[in-house]
Amino acid sequence: MNSSINLFADTIETKINQIVENARVLQQHGHEVMAGNVIEQAHVVLAALEVLRQKEIDIRGT
- Residue 45 is predicted with a pLDDT of 95
Q: Using one digit for the tens of pLDDT, what is the confidence trace for 25-61? A: 999 999 999 999 999 999 999 999 999 888 888 887 7
- Residue 2 is predicted with a pLDDT of 66
- Kindly report which listed range (3-7, 17-21, 52-56) carries the lowest average pLDDT score: 3-7
Residue type, 33: V
Residues 24, 52: Cα–Cα separation, whole Å: 26
